[in-house]
Structure 1
Amino acid sequence: MSLTTLPEQRGAVRPSFSGTPGRLRLTAIGAVLAVLVSAVLGAVALKMRSDALGRADSSASHLLLLQGVQTNLVVADADATNAFLKGGLEPQEQRLGYIKAMKAVSNDLVIAAQHSSADAKALGEANAVLNRYSGFVGSARANNRQGFSVGASYLTSANALLSDPDDKDDVSTGHRAIDLIEARVAADTQAVDDAYADAGFARWLLLLAAVVGIGGLLYAQVTLSRQSHRYLNLPIVASTVVLVVTLGGAAVLMAAAQSKANDVRSESLRPALALSASRVAAFTAKSTESLTLIKQGSATPDDIPWNTEYNKALSLVDGDSKTQLEAYKAQHDKINQLDVDGSWRSAVNLATSESDTSANALFLKYDDSTEKALRKAKDDTAKGLSSTGDLLLPVAVLLLLVGLFCAAAAWRGVSFRLNEYR
């Protein structure tokens, strides 16, 4: 094509967009583009909310899985440390509880590590630390059964591999397992928050879609009315009504999905996270109780390490679970006071007793009640988040089809007026 033909081409096109027919053609093109852009923006908004809620579901599920790993770790440690106090052959129930908890930790770590490359790296390192932990516990058991005092050192070393709040800056022992897991828990928590924020942003995109589409059609209607002195153009009116109804339906659906997701977050996810955190702190306190007795002569009147974890656990529960934890505290205070007063053997007997009013029995009631509540909260979270955005993608496809229909109707509406000039 030679450059000399360009002015001729411009001259051939210019008449098509001049005068009243030209303005009508521009109006038709503007209306069609407005409707198509509106449909695309609306579909993107619906998909954005669907994807965001999907990410929230995935991150929340992974978060709860990791908190389950944390809980099982401290459950295992609490069983190991309390069983160690009895000396010799530990109670079979506690030994089986330790094995069950560690098996669950191992299985769940494999699943959790598949979530992302960052999880694979951190949880792989945590698994390596736990292998060392199991080795120390095994050595502690073997020495304890033979009555060798070195078993206590092995158990103390094992516990320090989980989390040592007094020695977090000492890198000579490497990272602690629970600290590595907590870092991924924090990442999942942020991911859930980000997903909910993205889901909230989608409503503004849908509002923009409505402004563009409906505004474009109304402008076309006003322009035609001025040109033809006819107040209504039925095809454009019909396309406007259909687009308004579809976008309105999409807005209602998005709002319902977000409302349901918000309800799941406040009524199921947050309680589940609180219960998990409470259990982690409570079992850590139980381990601390046993470890203090294992380290004979280390008990103090203020009992700061134990009280720190206990207060954290108590602040995150209410109702029967709180009452049960308070009842356990009353028994623990007796144990600690006996140890402080020098009655170490009596303190150990009270700490390992299985009577109905013992510290172990009262703590078991808290364990059972929080485990049941946590299981329900987890199930409600999984069911709730997995179904919040089920209809969003089908409606996004419908909106695109409606956009094509409305664009065709708008073009036809303007064509009726153009035919009057032929």
Structure 2
Amino acid sequence: MTYPPTVRTAPQSAPTHAPAQPPATPPAHRGVWAVGKERLRTAATTEPGRLQIIGAVLAVLVVAFGAVTAFEISDRASAADDVVSRSQPLSADAASIYRSLADADTAASSGFLAGAEEPRAARERYQKDIALASRLLVKAAANTDGSSESGRQIAALNEQLPRYTGVIETARAYNRQGLPLGGAYLRFANGQMTRDLLPAAQKLYDAETARLERDDDHARFWPVSSLAVGVAALAALVWMQRRNYLRTNRVFNHGLLAATAAATVVLLWLAVGHTVARAELNAAEAHGQKSLKVLNDARISSLKARANENLTLVARGAVLTDDGKSDKYETDYTSGMKKLGDRLSEARSLADDKEGLGPVQSAVKGVSEWKVRHASASTTDKAGDYEGALAKVIGPKASTGQSFDQVDDALATALAHEQREFTRAAEDGRGALTGLPVGAALLAVLGAAGAVLGINRRLSEYR
């Protein structure tokens, strides 16, 4: 019997190709900041890593303290230097411009009153005042931005001053010829001085004084950022030394101790130096600048009063007040003398030593005498004795002119004293900050190096 061959069924073969699997997603690219954070987190889990982090933070804090201190104190020192060498001198020059212009007007009217033959002293005084005002205007223009308020007022003064001097020369020419028209020109020149020149000079003085006050305030402002960073750096250094003591039972770490000493020196130098500078600048402002302003106002009031007193005789009642009831120049004289008395009272209260008080008291005495002599001259003039009144105003003996000179000389002496006081105090304030920016930077570098060395000393114990 025949059997069919045994047929073995071949096993079903596996598929030739396996189903395609999706490719593995490559790890997302991590930024430098993320990697750094992870490494920092990892380092913070070990004591050596923590020490490295603390060392870096301490070094950064100490260097930041030095940098911020150097920047802020350099800024304060620059402002203090501006007070001494720029702002205050420009403010003083602006006051001198005003005084010179007012004095020139006074000298012109005094010379006019003397008659056709103008006294040589009055002429030279006028020329000296005009030359000084012109020279100071050139100096101020060289140190002032033309687009600023000061620049605009300087331009106005440079434009108006030649016109004023031209009118004065015309008045002199007519006066030498004995023509009454000279008096009209003199009054016109005085009006130009009062209306145009002196207001511009006052605005210039106000602008320069405002700049002085800004520089002074800036120089005195506390370096808050430097003090805050310094306290933070010192606190961090103390904390690290305490941490080191608690973990190792070692009292001192020479590197950290040196860094703490450096930070302490800078912080004390900063606090003491700026406190001294601030105190000296406060003294310069309180005992110098305030007195200078009051004395300048007093001197200007005396000059205006003297010019109006002279013009009272020049005009002889031809110019009245707006209501038509009083002589304009006599009214302005009275107002000027009242302002002068008020300023002198204020100056007397501000004077803080005998050298400052003495000239002010001499000026007060001169003003009292001036008023008495003026009243006598006014009575003589009203009685119709013009020549007698003229002698009492510009005469060589017991005249109001002598009283005015006494007041002016006393105020000049007081101004010179207060100027020296201001300059001394302001220079002391500037000097208190000298060397601090450079010293702070050097000590900060040494302190940072000490902090790093101190931390490295601890790290070496783990190797």
Q: Measure the CA separation in 1 of the matches of 2:177 and 2:139.
A: 38
Residues 97 and 137 in structure 2, CA contact (< 8 A), matched pair in contact too: yes
Q: Which residue of 2 aligns with 1:220?
A: 240
The structure-2 alpha-carbon separation of the partners of 1:394 and 1:349, relative to structure 1 and needing over 3 Å to count, comes to: same
Secondary structure in structure 2 of the residue aligned to 1:49: helix
Give the letter for the 2:378 counterpart.
N
Q: Which residue of 2 aligns with 1:99?
A: 127
Q: Which residue of 2 aligns with 1:237?
A: 257
Unpaired segments ≥5 residues, structure 2: 1-26, 321-325, 345-359
Give the letter for the 2:363 counterpart.
S
How far off its partner does 1:384 sit? Answer: 4.2
Q: Which residue of 2 aligns with 1:143?
A: 174
Q: Which residue of 1 aligns with 2:367?
A: 325
Find out whether 1:305 has 2:346 as its counterpart.
Answer: no
Q: Measure the CA separation in 1 of the matches of 2:72 and 2:222.
A: 5
Q: Equivalent of 2:61, from 34, 40, 59?
A: 34
What pairs with 1:244-393 in structure 2 (closer than 5 Å)? 244-297=264-317, 298=319, 300=326, 303-317=330-344, 318-355=360-397, 357-386=398-427, 388-390=429-431, 392-393=433-434
Q: Measure the CA separation in 2 of the matches of 1:280 and 1:156.
A: 19
How far off its partner does 1:15 sit? Answer: 3.3
Q: Which residue of 1 aligns with 2:447?
A: 406
Residues 301 and 340 in structure 1, CA contact (< 8 A), matched pair in contact too: no
What pairs with 1:176-195 in structure 2 (closer than 5 Å)? 176-195=196-215
Residues 83 and 215 in structure 2, CA contact (< 8 A), matched pair in contact too: yes
Q: Which residue of 1 aligns with 2:112?
A: 84
Q: Measure the CA separation in 1 of the matches of 2:382 and 2:237.
A: 82
How far off its partner does 1:3 sit? Answer: 6.9
Q: Which moved more, 1:264-273 or 1:275-284?
A: 264-273
Find out whether 1:112 has 2:154 as its counterpart.
Answer: no
Q: Measure the CA separation in 1 of the matches of 2:31 and 2:428.
A: 58
The structure-2 alpha-carbon separation of the partners of 1:406 and 1:149, relative to structure 1 and needing over 3 Å to count, comes to: same
Residues 27 and 223 in structure 1, CA contact (< 8 A), matched pair in contact too: no
Q: Measure the CA separation in 2 of the matches of 1:161 and 1:290.
A: 16
Residues 66 and 440 in structure 2, CA contact (< 8 A), matched pair in contact too: yes
Q: Which moved more, 1:279-288 or 1:315-324?
A: 315-324
How far off its partner does 1:360 sit? Answer: 0.9
Deviations 1:29-53 (A, max 9, x none): 1111111111112222321221121
Q: Which residue of 1 aligns with 2:348?
A: none
Q: Which moved more, 1:396-405 or 1:51-60?
A: 51-60
State percent identity of aligned pairs: 23
How far off its partner does 1:266 sit? Answer: 2.7
Secondary structure in structure 1 of the residue aligned to 2:221: helix
| Length, aligned pairs only | 409
- Structure that is richer in helix per residue: 1
Q: Measure the CA separation in 2 of the matches of 1:13 and 1:370.
A: 72
How far off its partner does 1:391 sit? Answer: 5.4
Secondary structure in structure 1 of the residue aligned to 2:199: helix
How far off its partner does 1:9 sit? Answer: 5.0
Give the letter for the 1:275 counterpart.
L
How far off its partner does 1:181 sit? Answer: 1.7
Specify which structure has the bigger relative contact order, considering alpha-carbon pairs within 8 angstroms and separated by 6 or more residues. Answer: 1
The structure-2 alpha-carbon separation of the partners of 1:340 and 1:260, relative to structure 1 and needing over 3 Å to count, comes to: same
Secondary structure in structure 1 of the residue aligned to 2:392: helix
Q: Equivalent of 1:128, from 138, 152, 159?
A: 159
Residues 69 and 108 in structure 1, CA contact (< 8 A), matched pair in contact too: yes
Q: Which moved more, 1:182-191 or 1:389-398?
A: 389-398
How far off its partner does 1:83 sit? Answer: 1.7
Give the letter for the 2:444 counterpart.
G
Give the letter for the 1:125 counterpart.
A
Q: Which residue of 2 aligns with 1:167?
A: none
Deviations 1:3-27 (A, max 9, x none): 7475895566653343322222221
Q: Which moved more, 1:135-144 or 1:207-216?
A: 207-216
Q: Measure the CA separation in 1 of the matches of 2:295 and 2:277.
A: 26
Residues 352 and 360 in structure 1, CA contact (< 8 A), matched pair in contact too: yes
Secondary structure in structure 1 of the residue aligned to 2:435: helix
Q: Which moved more, 1:279-288 or 1:42-51?
A: 42-51
Q: Equivalent of 1:207, from 203, 223, 227?
A: 227
Q: TM-score, normalised by structure 1?
A: 0.89
Deviations 1:268-295 (A, max 9, x none): 3332332222111101100011112212
Deviations 1:127-146 (A, max 9, x none): 22111110111001111111
How far off its partner does 1:416 sit? Answer: 2.1
Deviations 1:114-164 (A, max 9, x none): 221133432122022111110111001111111111111211111122223
Secondary structure in structure 1 of the residue aligned to 2:222: helix
Q: Measure the CA separation in 1 of the matches of 2:247 and 2:339.
A: 73
Find out whether 1:397 has 2:421 as its counterpart.
Answer: no
Q: Measure the CA separation in 2 of the matches of 1:380 and 1:276.
A: 15
Give the letter for the 1:90 counterpart.
E
Q: Which residue of 1 aligns with 2:23?
A: none
Q: Measure the CA separation in 2 of the matches of 1:12 and 1:375.
A: 69
Q: Measure the CA separation in 1 of the matches of 2:31 and 2:215.
A: 52
What pairs with 1:53-72 in structure 2 (closer than 5 Å)? 53-57=80-84, 58-72=86-100
